[in-house]
Chain A
Amino acid sequence: MSSVRTEELDRLNQETIEEGNRFKVIGTRPIRPDGIDKVTGKANFGADIVLNGMLYGAIHRSPHAHALIKKIDISKALKLEGVKSIITHSDLASLKPTDKNSNVNFFDLARNVLAKDKVLYDGHAIVAVAAISQSIANKAAELIEVEYKVLKPVMDIKTAEKKSSPIIDKNIFTEGLSEPNKKPSNTAKKVEFLLGDPEKTLNEADIVLDRKYSTQTVHQGYIEPHACAASYTKDNQATIWCSSQGAFMVRAYTAKLCGLETSKIKVIPAEIGGGFGGKTTIYLEPLAVKLSQKTGRPVKLVMNRTEVMRATGPTSGGTAHVKLGTDKKGNFIAGLIELKYEAGAFAGSPVGLGCMTAFAPYNLKHVKCTGWDILVNRPKAAAYRAPGAPVAAFAVESAIDEVASILQMDPIELRLKNCATEGTTAPYGVTFDKIGHKECLEAGFKSSHYHKKLKPYQGRGIASGFWFNIGGNSSAEIMINEDGNVTVATGNPDIGGSRASMAMMAAETLGIGMENVKPIVADTESIPYSDLTGGSRVTFATGKAVVEAAMDLIAEMCRRAAKFWKVDPKQVEWTNGNAICIERKDIEPMSMKQIAKIAFKTGGAISGKANINVKKGAGPGFGVHICDVEVDPETGRVTVLRYTAIQDVGKAIHPSYVEGQLQGGAAQGIGWALNEEYVYNKEGNLMNTGFLDYRIPVASDLPMIETILVEVPNSGHPFGVRGVGETPIVPPLAAVANAVSNAIGKRMTNLPLNPIKILSEIG
């Protein structure tokens, strides 16, 4: 296990870490390949695209949260000089409720990008306009007249569950009930995971902690708004330039909504200014394609911040009811949780994942996790780091903290006593291989932070978190250039440093320096299919593809060297970046630069490739966070004094990026815990649509987030990688809430912990 603390990371420390590293490139901290372009403003993001003859788009959005569309009048807008085209839902492909696959319901997606018959949330897109300038497009959007029959909005779970409440979607019948629901309902689905006999076992517990919790809708808060440009040409081919987490996802979804064959669309990924899961779906791309198709000119659409907040997917607010039973010694014997998550206006909250993760960090033989997916008149929930897990962890980790308090036991000790280890079966049915939860808890207990003394109105909170991590489809190609340097192409947009990690894994495998590798993100016609960048899968799965592509390249380079040397290829091996003839000492080793020079003589350009579906081996991620806060008893303001994020990362390819992932997850989770929430008025209009009112933490709000990287290698990856991006947002909600609760001596169960709530508790 190697340990890295950000605040202590002086040169000596770094050298020590790198000395203990059996790798030459992996584990070092080279300058990021995209760094200079980004800090000098030269990187091209979605909104930066400019094309010849380009038109500008704007969208008319609903002012109502729930209303029937009786009539749309576009006549005034069409008469405005400079307006070139206007589209509504009827311009999209005709889809049915059954048009869905395992990832997405296209019928819902089409109704989300442009409303059909009914608007379902404040800001729901209804009409899209293209014009010769942005100001004309905006004016035209204002001139659209829509006649509504306004309906009562259903804004929260409690209201949605009432039998007397309006039904948001008549196509929804609750799935998963023992008796099928014959009437439409705002409850889309029930899910349940059961291990053992928790209800009976709970009766045998010495202590039963029974507590209810709630959280609010929060947004990912990416800085770059959604943006795209599309060009549809007369040969019925479309090209899309956009910022997303998956160019192939954009291609597939847009094709379906536009009624095009997938191969007719080319998606060129732009740089992405944050996604965190929020850019794993589409909003603008089909509209830009359709407007371009109608006008014969390229069309660009860029959301402003208000549009992003009103109409793109936040993550679900939710409620949790936890029952945790323990014996007198603190052994967990049964756990039950009932989760209810807001899906937004279309079914599909991450409540199932919340259920699966809730008790996963612990060794419990009797568990029941029940989840309800509930429609409300808010934007459709989208993924947000570790979707579903933070809300569930907030509840379970808060309950554990309270049990520790009842038992007068150290909260880390209590978690160590019960933590999942190799051989533990999680409530969702998987038995863990080697995992690092225990190691993270031990690292936390040993940290100087954990033993720092606290003053009055200061409190410390601990929480653990878990995420599955996944593999999936990834493609990679490595090409040797004429000068012997290589280009590594993958199909995954770089949202968290993947170009650096791909280059480093390629360099390590090939035995060359990082400076000899140029990583690129290829478009959908330049690399085979790749699943989107998400789920903490890219460094693991795409990294595995890169390693396999490098091995393929090595095999070809050895064949070329053998051909040049006129020896049997079996006599050639690859060592430290050179082809070596193992049976002929008189033949000098040949470097990649030399092999590049003989490429044309020996058969042409050289490349290696791998197109794989990594079905297995994504080692689960566990983290432990420690948070110290101070509460001002007069104002209720919470100041985060110190924060340490500890995580089993398997093997950190580029430790700085990995630390950044932990720091970013912690910062977002702190915002979720303390400040962030969607505020709606009685009519269902979102009131805080900008970053002045929707308060994400900024640098001056937070201390330096300290990190401890625990490395328990994942045997499923050639370098031991585990995904790292999701797990760090799981513990902070509970870590902060536990810290605040301990500071004021009152249990805080409803997020966000704003000053009003805190003052009402401390009187």
Chain B
Amino acid sequence: MIKIVIPSQIACNYTDGVHELNAKGDKLDQIISSLDEQYPGIKNALSEGFACALENEIIHDWFDEELNNVRTVRFIPAIEGG
């Protein structure tokens, strides 16, 4: 089981304020799709403006990243810069 931490504005709109969710899967899009079945629309919401922190990496344009040895998936604001 992988822990998924979502930002508060997503939690407010899709999960009744619950920030930490759990899902099973080998790939990132797989677990987010399974969450989407439970919380319709959350996949699209997380696809806009959010990057994904997977242990030691921040992934922008997240898609089907492997989740081997990943315990926590944390969605964070996309990183911009000057």
Q: Which residues of A contact B (CB under 8 A)?
A: 100-103, 175-178, 180, 189-193, 220, 275-278, 280, 350, 352-353, 356, 383-387, 428-433, 467-468, 470-472, 534-537, 613, 615-618, 725-726
Contacts and interface: CB of A to CB of B under 8 A. Distances in A.
A133 to B, nearest CB: 36
A537 B56 contact: no
Contacts of B72: 429
Interface in B59-82: 59-62, 65, 72, 74, 76-82
Given A191-B7, A353-B80, A726-B81, A102 B48 contact: yes
11 contacts: A100-B48, A101-B48, A175-B12, A383-B82, A432-B56, A470-B81, A472-B60, A535-B80, A535-B81, A615-B57, A615-B61
A470 B7 contact: no
Given A176-B7, A352-B77, A429-B5, A616 B82 contact: no
B8 interface: yes
A496 B27 CA distance: 38
A356 B8 contact: no
B2 to A, nearest CB: 13
Interface of B: 5, 7-9, 12-13, 17, 47-50, 53, 55-62, 65, 72, 74, 76-82
A102 B78 contact: yes
B76 A356 contact: yes
Contacts of A470: 58, 60, 79-81
A427 to B, nearest CB: 10
A385 B12 contact: no
Contact of A616 (B12, B17, B59, B77): B59
A387 B80 contact: yes
A535 B57 CA distance: 16
Q: Most A CB atoms within 10 A — which of B47, B76, B79, B81?
A: B81
A175 B17 CA distance: 12
A534 B53 contact: no
Nearest to A386: B82
B57 A616 contact: yes
A429 B49 contact: no
Contacts of A193: 76
A723 to B, nearest CB: 8
Given A102-B50, A383-B80, A470-B60, 20 more contacts: A100-B48, A103-B49, A176-B8, A177-B8, A190-B8, A190-B9, A277-B81, A278-B82, A280-B82, A350-B80, A353-B80, A383-B81, A387-B80, A428-B53, A429-B76, A430-B56, A534-B80, A535-B82, A615-B57, A615-B61
Given A387-B80, A433-B56, A175 B9 contact: yes
A155 B28 CA distance: 43
Contacts of A535: 79-82
Contact of B9 (A176, A429, A433, A613): A176
B77 A356 contact: yes
A458 B55 CA distance: 44
A534 B81 contact: yes
A386 B47 CA distance: 23
B74 A178 contact: no
Contact of A177 (B12, B49, B53, B78): B12
A534 B56 contact: no
In the complex, the 5 A-B pairs of residues with the closest C-beta atoms, listed nearest first: A535-B81, A277-B82, A429-B74, A352-B77, A385-B82
A175 B9 CA distance: 5
Contacts of B76: 193, 352, 356, 428-429
A725 B57 contact: no
Contacts of B7: 176, 191
A176 B78 contact: no
Nearest to B75: A429
B82 A726 contact: yes
A472 B60 CA distance: 7
Given A192-B8, A428-B74, A429-B72, A615 B59 contact: yes
Contacts of B74: 428-430
Contacts of A726: 81-82
Contacts of B13: 180
Contacts of A278: 82
A192 B79 CA distance: 16
Nearest to B65: A615
Contacts of B65: 615
A536 B8 contact: no
A275 B81 CA distance: 11
B8 A191 contact: yes
Given A176-B9, A178-B12, A190-B8, A387 B55 contact: no
Nearest to B54: A430
Contacts of A178: 8, 12, 17
Q: Most A CB atoms within 10 A — which of B13, B58, B59, B61?
A: B58
A363 to B, nearest CB: 15
B57 to A, nearest CB: 5
A539 B65 CA distance: 25
Contacts of A100: 48
B41 to A, nearest CB: 14
A176 B12 contact: yes
Contacts of B9: 175-176, 189-191
A618 B50 CA distance: 17
B76 to A, nearest CB: 5
Nearest to B48: A102
B28 to A, nearest CB: 11
Contacts of A430: 53, 55-58, 74
A751 to B, nearest CB: 19
